[in-house]
Amino acid sequence: MTKALLLIDIQNGFCPGGNLPVAEGDAVVPVANRLIESRAYDLIVASQDWHPANHGSFASQHEGKMPFDMGELSGQPQVMWPDHCVQGTADAEFHPDLKTAHIDYIQRKGENPAVDSYSAFRDNDKAALTGLSGWLKQKGVTALDIMGLATDYCVKFSALDAVDMLPDVKVRLIADGCRGIDAKGVEEAIEAMRRAGVEITDSSMITA
Ligand code: VGL
Ligand code: ZN
């Protein structure tokens, strides 16, 4: 058994005070820190939303669009986000309290301005891989626990891709280690993950 913990986008941008704040986003930090220090995992991986300033998911790049409007990006429906997690800015940094010293691998994503990448594994159009699935395979990972921000976007698409792209890996969601953008979206996201074969668990179940 090789167990990995995948921390999704625990960045300033998704925490209160950030550019795309998730309600109580910072509440996942102590959960992550306890798991990082628990010795329950052989490997700790973190993803980082890492957009160029002209990223096409930003409302600012579309004439007449406001944040949270629906729009289009490269011909596909796309939520128009506020500018967030721009490469090299404080908004893109990990939350300052996150214990990053024990992170074995950082997967950046969302660098192509023409396509969004909610999943830490591949772009939304499923064309370009990030490299994370290859890294986990090469390390012989057999169990992957996922938590972070936001439940209804990057956590959901990362978990769905994990079961799809790593069929031999047991994938679990640590529900109390996640916060979402939209309450209804969170319910639907958890149901979609469960249907896809993701086990929904809680950090209190994790000991070692
Ligand atoms: C995310 C919206 C846009 C996320 C990233 O991390 O869930 N959501 N970019
Ligand atoms: Zn983003």
| Cα-based angle 126, 83, 158 (whole degrees, multiple of 5) | 30
User: Which pLDDT score, from 0 to 100, does residue 56 have?
Assistant: 98
What does the pLDDT look like over 136-149, one tens digit per residue? 999 999 999 999 99
Domain presence at residue 119: yes
Domain presence at residue 149: yes
Domain presence at residue 76: no
* 34 membership: H or E segment, kind and range: helix 28-36
Ligand 1 proximity of 159 Cβ (cutoff 6 Å): no
User: Which pLDDT score, from 0 to 100, does residue 208 have?
Assistant: 75
CA of 103 to the centre of ligand 1 (A): 21
Say if CB 151 and CB 179 are below 8 A apart. Answer: yes
Domain presence at residue 81: no
Ligand 2 (single-atom ion) residues, CB below 5 Å: 49
Domain that holds residue 200: 3-50+93-205
Domain presence at residue 67: no
User: Which pLDDT score, from 0 to 100, does residue 180 have?
Assistant: 98
What does the pLDDT look like over 39-56, one tens digit per residue? 999 999 999 999 999 999
d(CA 74, CA 128): 14
Residue 92 class from Cβ within 10 Å (0-12 exposed, 13-18 middle, 19+ buried)? buried
Residue of the CA atom closest to atom 8 of ligand 1: 153
User: Which pLDDT score, from 0 to 100, does residue 167 have?
Assistant: 97
Which backbone phi and psi does 18 adopt, to 5 degrees? Answer: -85, 180
Whether omega for the bond prior to residue 150 falls within 30 degrees of 0, making it cis, is yes
CA of 118 to the centre of ligand 1 (A): 6
Ligand 1 proximity of 83 Cβ (cutoff 6 Å): no
User: Which pLDDT score, from 0 to 100, does residue 207 have?
Assistant: 86
User: Which pLDDT score, from 0 to 100, does residue 118 have?
Assistant: 98
What does the pLDDT look like over 152-187, one tens digit per residue? 999 999 999 999 999 999 999 999 999 999 999 999
d(CA 84, CA 61): 12
Residues contacting 183, CB < 8 A, separation 6+: none
The total of structural domains in the chain comes to 1
CATH of the domain at 125: 3.40.50.850
What does the pLDDT look like over 99-136, one tens digit per residue? 999 999 999 999 999 999 999 999 999 999 999 999 99
From 149, 158, 193, give the residue whose CB has the most ligand 1 atoms within 8 Å, as the site to mutate. 149
Domain presence at residue 139: yes
Q: List, by residue number, the catalytic residues.
A: 9, 109, 154
The mean pLDDT of 15-38, rounded to a whole number, is: 98
What does the pLDDT look like over 50-93, one tens digit per residue? 999 999 999 999 999 999 999 999 999 999 999 999 999 999 99
CA of 9, closest atom in ligand 1 = 6
User: Which pLDDT score, from 0 to 100, does residue 132 have?
Assistant: 98
Domain presence at residue 64: no
With a cut of 90, say whether residue 97 has pLDDT above it: yes
Strands (E), the chain: 3-8, 43-49, 70-73, 76-79, 105-109, 143-149, 170-179, 199-201
CA of 1 to the centre of ligand 1 (A): 31
User: Which pLDDT score, from 0 to 100, does residue 183 have?
Assistant: 93
Ligand 1 proximity of 81 Cβ (cutoff 6 Å): yes
Distance (Å) of CA 154 to CA 8, 79, 160: 7, 13, 10
Three-state SS letters, 80-95? CECCCCECCCHHHCEC
Residue of the CA atom closest to atom 9 of ligand 1: 118
Three-state SS letters, 172-187? EEEEEEEECCCHHHHH
Domain presence at residue 59: no
Helix (H, G, I), strand (E, B) or coil at 110: coil
CA of 207 to the centre of ligand 2 (A): 32
What's the whole-model pTM score?
Answer: 0.98
